[in-house]
Structure 1
Amino acid sequence: MPVHKVARTYVESLVLPCANSSLLGFALLMGFLAINFSLAEETTLEQRPWLDKSASPDERVSSLLSQMTLEEKVGQLNQSNGISGQATGNTKNLVADSALYQLISKGQIGSILNEVDRAIVNELQRVAVQESRLGIPLIFGRDVIHGFRTIFPIPLGQAATWNPELVTAACRTAAREARSKGIQWTFAPMVDISRDPRWGRIAESFGEDPYLASALSIASVEGYQGDDLSNSDSLAACVKHFAGYGAAEGGRDYNTTMISPSAMRNVYLPPFKAAVDAGVATLMCGFHDVNGIPMSVNKYWLNDVLRGEWDFRGFVVSDWDSIFETIEHGVSKDEQTAALAAARAGVNMEMNSPCYRNHLAELVSNGQLSESTLDDLVKPILRIKFRLGLFDQPYSEPNSERLLLTKNNLELAQKVARQSIILLKNEDGTLPIKKSQIKELAVIGPLADSKRDQLGTWIPDGKEADSQTPLAAIRATAKLHGTEVLFVPGLEDDFDRSTERFAEAVTVAERADLVILIVGERANISGEARSRAILDLPGAQNELISAISEVGKPLVLIVQAGRPLTIGKQVEQVNALLYSLHAGTMAGPALADLLWGVESPSGKTPVTFPKSVGQVPLYYNHVNSGRPPRPYEYEKDKTVDDSINVELGYNSNYIDVGPYPQFPFGFGLSYTAFSYGEVELSAAKLRDGETLAVRAPVTNSGEVAADEIVQLYIRDLVGSLTRPVLELKGFRRVRLAPGETSIVEFALPVSDLAFYNNDEERLIEPGEFEIFVGGSSLAPKVGKIEIVK
């Protein structure tokens, strides 16, 4: 019997008896080692030269591609869903009985998604490597959006940290956990600029600002991919959704977008370009259309710009069924025309739907699609598989559980959560809790002990049992200080509209020295297909806040949510407000740290918080109209006044609510105060190619050590297009002890002052620019420069 058949028999002898035992992983590993050994004995480099590790990835790709049939090339462009949920029992029989078996064994599948049973992953991979003609391995993909088993804050929460290094660390941890379970590819980061909190997927975004989103886009890619994709703790990243998806009309998911060329270039594309420049392996196109052309068939953006202009060498995957859905869009007649349009546009891999599988070979055979175009689609997929090391080590090893939820992982998750939480109000120093003054502490609210909801959206591998809730953490900390915790939920859940439990909640509040009220929106009403037309707290939570506020005890409101909510009137009823953007597994300990002052809050809003849904879209970097409203004054404009006022004049106002936000972009309070000294600019006039140095003295003028996020903004006063009233151009996180001063320095190249016009020309125009430095987008003007020819 040939060696490889002996090895296979050995695998079967181990797997069959162990299918339902803890020995399965060990058995599979030993069997796969035997197979790998047998292959090394039987397969020579002359037979399969693409296995030569000394050759470059491009050389290996060319060698393999030259041996592939038309059907095998098409096969690499197809991605199918996994089979874990279909049955239980013997792994090998499960695979052999699946429809995937025949497709994989014939080389007609290039990727599997949503398969995290390591035994099944390895068995499917064995079929691809051992039973297909050329042995091309599969790439296994999964939505690892903000953690795998250790869940970090949602991406919008990570953006609230304004800490790229911390985001990199979180993504690195997620990659390590996911790769240990056989996953090699994540569909993250999502870098869609979002200015509309009605859109559920704002939770997955890094907010409204291109500069901040670009910095975090790079941080995420570097975290997921590391230095080498073939490392056992690296994932291929997939930046999504190219491009402009966050501009969906009405904030409704999957909806159409109308985006001018200048807005696409200046606002929506920068985070994608940053990811490409950082070496992102893959990219996903969006469900939506841009100016009438669905992105899945948009040749201009996918081919001309992404590959031609930006020289992107990774591959593009469609979103789920999005090629097929161009039929519903009304731009494709049927599957065949959809497949042809997507292939010509440059979509390398089709997720889930079968348009490519059913029609590409025929399209090549009848001459409608050239084989060289098909080859160009296949090459990047093979290149990424070589870079991932799948030809050299296709299988996942056991012992993954030791890499999940480690002490270090949980400590990092707590740190990220702590920095993501935003202090939005702190009247008369209500927080941190004064240990000596609080003997009885009331905790009220439907989300105080809701393990699932603090994890947020898109956590397919997270476990609610792992969550450490605010109630549990508050109890643990209070016990250390001799404080009694009194808890009543007040409402059954966040959707509950009954006020029956209010009396009990009021009684507990009356007894306590301080009340912590924890409300918000549950996890499953933010994220994909979770757009909301009303942004108020759901259920009777507003009524609960009112009832508790009337007791008159110091009241701390904690909001856990996946988006900004319209809570202006509720803010006026409480003494302090902490906003937690679904902060993940360690949300509870992170909140407890902030409540008791173990750390000072440092989170800043990554997106503007509106007062009313009628103000949306509302964002800080808007352009002026010819009749702007009066200048924004936060202290004056933070109050919600919804009375009708028809005496505002003929300006860009609403007559029933002010035009300004509840909380502006980049805003967040601290337990200390920061003061800014005189800012120094290195020059008054600069030319293209030169760099402005900005030096800002920042002092901690309070009594506790804390982090400040120093922000640099500019305003282009006159341009050939209307220019934003403010643009973020830099930020620095600095930690200062009480009384300490630090000189925070920024380097602002003149090239960063360029913008694109509607002819998609990048311009650096002479003229005056104002410079602003401070702790939010409310930063004062500190000087002016002039760009000269």
Structure 2
Amino acid sequence: MSKQHQLEELLQQMTLDEKIGQLIQLATPFFKGAGNDGQITGPMEEMGISEETVRNSGSVLGAAGANQTIHIQKTHLEENRLHIPLLFMADVVHGYKTIFPVPLAVGCSWNLELAERSAEIAAKEAAVSGIHVTFAPMVDLVRDPRWGRVMESTGEDPYLNSQFSRALVRGFQGSNLKNDTLSVAACVKHFAGYGAAEGGRDYNTVNMSERQLRESYLPAYKAALDEGCEMVMTAFNTIDGVPATGNEWLMRELLRSEWGFNGVLISDWGAVKELIPHGIAENEKEAASKALRAGVDIEMMTACYDRYLKELIEEGVVEECILDEAVMRILTLKEKLGLFDNPYRGASERLEKEVIMCEEHRRQARELAEKSCVLLKNNGILPLDKEKRVAVIGPFANSDDILGPWSWLGDRKQAVTLYNGMQKNSAHLTFAQGCEIERVTKEQLKEAIRVAEQADVVVLALGEHSEMSGEAGCRADIQLPLAQLELIKEMQKIKRPIVTVLFNGRPLDLHGVMEESDAILEAWYPGTEGGAAIANLLFGMCTPSGKLTMSFPYSAGQIPVYYNAFNTGRPKDAPDAQERYVSQYLDIPNEPLLPFGFGLSYTTFRYRNGTLSEQKLKKGETISLSVEITNIGEREGDEIVQLYIRDVSGDVVRPLKELKGFKTIHLQPGETKTVSFTISEEQLRYYHRNLQFKSDNGAFIAYVGGNSQQVEGFYFELID
């Protein structure tokens, strides 16, 4: 008998209550055998869940550790009438216990291989702890750094996000979920458009055209599904006035029918019941009906399905066949994971001791952290001379709050702080707190001044504590807190070179930092090995190579500011532009402080002799753009070479530039390499007014360079 036939027989044996139970996800504390170690990602509420519902429930949220997951599964199998195993799900976003840099930092590495490897390691550590599904990757495109969750995304570009989306899914899932028990199923989120929340405020309204949704926001989700991602999570926001969790067009027509996705769709925490305050459901009963009709298979941590689906089916409001489809999708995922044959899949206390936080995993975390840091400024003070006296000052100088807000199982005590990392490279290191994140005292400033005066160089470790970003971590003012800006001013008075290292989850408004610092290294939340990685960069053990995947605004008043924007009918830089009547601010530049793709090195790369193989591109054929890149500095280094294309005239307005490719090369001092990109008609397609996805004959410009602003352009024409 085939596995599919066995699942169909199992479905036929299930009562209506048992079917509904498969659609209910509860947090760990609800389950017998859980102990007190269950973790949750939102406020507990009085849900009125019965013991029968727990016995019938299909999945667990937030369990952690082989001992706990085995005990919960064993107890559940003993009490569940048909012995249907539980699915264990958790937020393993950028590491399980070995914590890698936050995803925005991973994006800044532009390194798909290391990103995939980080997901593979996270999956391995999670799997030996009994977890089957991770709520990752988050592939929401982000353009507003006020939004706290930008740290979970890889940036503002749909092409680059799509590449990372694929890499992370490959890393989490491996090639075969059943045979590779040290992998986990991936759940791409948040479908769809969550990153466009108005005002950068979490859970807020999203409003855009379908064309914009398809062109900018949907590609990364589609890339995850094309890579075989097993699950999708709904977004909290609206799409065309309808919350995603109750949006039949989005989930039934687009996701299931147009894209052919037949995997499991899960709500985000409490999102089914939130259809009521959104204003499309009068009560929990209507919310349950609309969510199931929209295609939501699993309700996370509210009880609308539990309370009302049976009643809705008995009344004929919801067809039982819709419920059966949802149950079958959940059972199919359990079968893909091999849980019917091995309900304790992967979980092993012995393997936990061998695998979790092993030296190889820490080494990989350190390497990715080195690649993820972005050098924003350097007047020559970096790399540091190991013989110089260095004062490390600031709230992050010796802080272990460097894992990021989604590292819920990361052990901060295991993290390498900046001071500890630098100690291994310097014998002349001193330390002062300087200030707290948001508070400073006269005594702290006095001590910082004393320590700085005895040093040759001051390293200021500044930033946001982890609760200032992540979910619900939105900020209207994205400058550093005033206490830290005051510390910088006091350090400037000492007349010592200042190297600022930033720890944060978003692009910041760097006023008060950029002009006061001799060098700035953006470290983000770098993870378990962060301090060691940063020290290696500061002392020149390795050379910075990261480049920004989200623009740094000149001021919050520009937001949203992003490289692939549209032009206007009165652009500021037009040859015949008038002084006043153009699209501009009167008080600040139009351009961001630091653009997409920007990042410095300890060496210098010269681009020259760029050429197109042909000036006319025929459909069905390709042309190539080649450029010579020479390392004209004195140190070896990596350069991330970027290809952009502009459609000069479209059916609708086209972006000024769109990333279409990138390549990383390593060059020794004096070495030259030729980098070539292939350009095809497929890369020129876009969504027209009628939502057809196609290209147009006509003029294009291909750009190549080291960031989105410093590029050289080459005209070509698309012809039949």
Q: TM-score, normalised by structure 2?
A: 0.95
| Residue of structure 2 equivalent to 1:352 | 301
SS in 2 for 1:306: helix
| Residue of structure 2 equivalent to 1:653 | 584
| Residue of structure 1 equivalent to 2:433 | 489
Task: Map 1:200-599; keep pairs closer than 5 Å.
Answer: 200-230=148-178, 231-395=180-344, 396-399=347-350, 400-427=352-379, 429-436=380-387, 438=388, 440-451=389-400, 453-479=401-427, 484-491=428-435, 493-599=436-542
Q: Write the distance in 2 (CA, Å) between the matches of 1:539 and 1:332.
A: 44
SS in 1 for 2:501: strand
| Residue of structure 2 equivalent to 1:37 | none
SS in 2 for 1:565: coil
2:76 aligned to 107, 128, 136, which one? Answer: 128
Q: Write the distance in 1 (CA, Å) between the matches of 2:418 and 2:52.
A: 48
SS in 1 for 2:661: strand
Q: Write the distance in 2 (CA, Å) between the matches of 1:344 and 1:90.
A: 36
2:29 corresponds to 1:80: no
| Residue of structure 2 equivalent to 1:3 | none
Q: Is contact 1:260–1:758 with CA below 8 Å preserved after alignment?
A: no
Task: Map 1:710-749; keep pairs closer than 5 Å.
Answer: 710-749=641-680
Q: Which blocks of at least 5 consecutive residues in structure 2 are unaligned?
A: 38-46
Residue by residue over 1:527-548, the C-alpha shift from the partner in whole angstroms, topping out at 9 and shown as x without a partner, is 0001000011014111111111
Which one is further off, 510-519 or 395-404? 395-404
Q: Write the distance in 2 (CA, Å) between the matches of 1:192 and 1:124.
A: 33
- 1:402 Cα deviation after fit: 1.8
Q: Is contact 1:755–1:763 with CA below 8 Å preserved after alignment?
A: yes
- 1:631 Cα deviation after fit: 7.3
- 1:758 Cα deviation after fit: 4.1
Q: Is contact 1:671–1:706 with CA below 8 Å preserved after alignment?
A: yes
Q: Is contact 1:446–1:490 with CA below 8 Å preserved after alignment?
A: yes
1:609 aligned to 520, 541, 552, which one? Answer: 552
Q: Is contact 1:294–1:326 with CA below 8 Å preserved after alignment?
A: yes
Residue by residue over 1:286-318, the C-alpha shift from the partner in whole angstroms, topping out at 9 and shown as x without a partner, is 111122100001111111111111111211100
SS in 2 for 1:454: coil
Q: Write the distance in 1 (CA, Å) between the matches of 2:609 and 2:206.
A: 44
Q: Is contact 2:33–2:68 with CA below 8 Å preserved after alignment?
A: no
Q: Write the distance in 1 (CA, Å) between the matches of 2:605 and 2:36.
A: 63
Q: Given residue 699 of structure 2, which amino acid in structure 1 is its aligned partner? A: E
Q: Given residue 184 of structure 2, which amino acid in structure 1 is its aligned partner? A: L
- 1:659 Cα deviation after fit: 1.3
Q: Residues 260 and 99 of structure 1: is their aligned pair in 2 closer, same or farther, counting only changes over 3 Å?
A: closer
- 1:90 Cα deviation after fit: 11
SS in 1 for 2:425: helix
Residue by residue over 1:363-392, the C-alpha shift from the partner in whole angstroms, topping out at 9 and shown as x without a partner, is 222211112211221222111111111111
2:138 aligned to 171, 176, 190, which one? Answer: 190
Q: Is contact 1:692–1:750 with CA below 8 Å preserved after alignment?
A: no
SS in 1 for 2:596: coil
Q: Write the distance in 1 (CA, Å) between the matches of 2:281 and 2:30.
A: 33
SS in 2 for 1:160: helix
Q: Write the distance in 2 (CA, Å) between the matches of 1:378 and 1:441.
A: 61
SS in 2 for 1:668: coil
Residue by residue over 1:104-144, the C-alpha shift from the partner in whole angstroms, topping out at 9 and shown as x without a partner, is 674x2110011114333222212333332221111000000
| Residue of structure 2 equivalent to 1:681 | 612
Residue by residue over 1:130-174, the C-alpha shift from the partner in whole angstroms, topping out at 9 and shown as x without a partner, is 332221111000000110101111110111101111100001000
SS in 2 for 1:540: helix
Which one is further off, 747-756 or 768-777? 747-756
2:692 aligned to 758, 761, 779, which one? Answer: 761
Which one is further off, 251-260 or 734-743? 734-743
Q: Write the distance in 1 (CA, Å) between the matches of 2:529 and 2:30.
A: 29
Which one is further off, 649-658 or 666-675? 649-658
| Residue of structure 1 equivalent to 2:93 | 145
- 1:406 Cα deviation after fit: 0.4
2:564 corresponds to 1:671: no
- 1:64 Cα deviation after fit: 2.4
CA RMSD of aligned residues (A): 2.0
Residue by residue over 1:516-573, the C-alpha shift from the partner in whole angstroms, topping out at 9 and shown as x without a partner, is 1111111111000010000110141111111112222111111111101111342111
Q: Is contact 2:122–2:172 with CA below 8 Å preserved after alignment?
A: yes
Which one is further off, 231-240 or 499-508? 499-508
| Residue of structure 1 equivalent to 2:563 | 620
Q: Is contact 1:105–1:127 with CA below 8 Å preserved after alignment?
A: no
Q: Given residue 402 of structure 1, which amino acid in structure 2 is its aligned partner? A: E
Q: Write the distance in 2 (CA, Å) between the matches of 1:345 and 1:757.
A: 27
- 1:648 Cα deviation after fit: 4.5
Q: Write the distance in 2 (CA, Å) between the matches of 1:129 and 1:118.
A: 16
Q: Write the distance in 1 (CA, Å) between the matches of 2:93 and 2:305.
A: 27
2:103 corresponds to 1:155: yes
Q: Write the distance in 2 (CA, Å) between the matches of 1:309 and 1:113.
A: 30
2:14 corresponds to 1:68: yes
Q: Write the distance in 1 (CA, Å) between the matches of 2:712 and 2:667.
A: 23
Q: Is contact 1:568–1:662 with CA below 8 Å preserved after alignment?
A: no
Q: TM-score, normalised by structure 1?
A: 0.87
Q: Is contact 1:261–1:759 with CA below 8 Å preserved after alignment?
A: no
Q: Is contact 1:105–1:132 with CA below 8 Å preserved after alignment?
A: no
Q: Is contact 2:34–2:72 with CA below 8 Å preserved after alignment?
A: no
Q: Is contact 1:321–1:353 with CA below 8 Å preserved after alignment?
A: yes
Q: Given residue 488 of structure 1, which amino acid in structure 2 is its aligned partner? A: A
Residue by residue over 1:547-600, the C-alpha shift from the partner in whole angstroms, topping out at 9 and shown as x without a partner, is 112222111111111101111342111111101111111110001000111110
- 1:422 Cα deviation after fit: 0.4
2:53 corresponds to 1:110: no
Q: Is contact 1:693–1:746 with CA below 8 Å preserved after alignment?
A: yes
Which one is further off, 724-733 or 693-702? 693-702
Runs of 4+ residues deviating >4 angstroms: 84-91, 98-101
Q: Residues 765 and 229 of structure 1: is their aligned pair in 2 closer, same or farther, counting only changes over 3 Å?
A: same
Q: Given residue 231 of structure 2, which amino acid in structure 1 is its aligned partner? A: T
Q: Write the distance in 2 (CA, Å) between the matches of 1:358 and 1:89.
A: 27
Q: Given residue 514 of structure 2, which amino acid in structure 1 is its aligned partner? A: V
Residue by residue over 1:652-681, the C-alpha shift from the partner in whole angstroms, topping out at 9 and shown as x without a partner, is 111121111110001000011111232232
Q: Is contact 1:770–1:781 with CA below 8 Å preserved after alignment?
A: no
Q: Is contact 1:648–1:655 with CA below 8 Å preserved after alignment?
A: no
Which one is further off, 536-545 or 583-592? 536-545
Q: Is contact 1:413–1:585 with CA below 8 Å preserved after alignment?
A: yes
Q: Write the distance in 1 (CA, Å) between the matches of 2:531 and 2:371.
A: 13
Q: Write the distance in 2 (CA, Å) between the matches of 1:673 and 1:203.
A: 29
SS in 1 for 2:453: helix
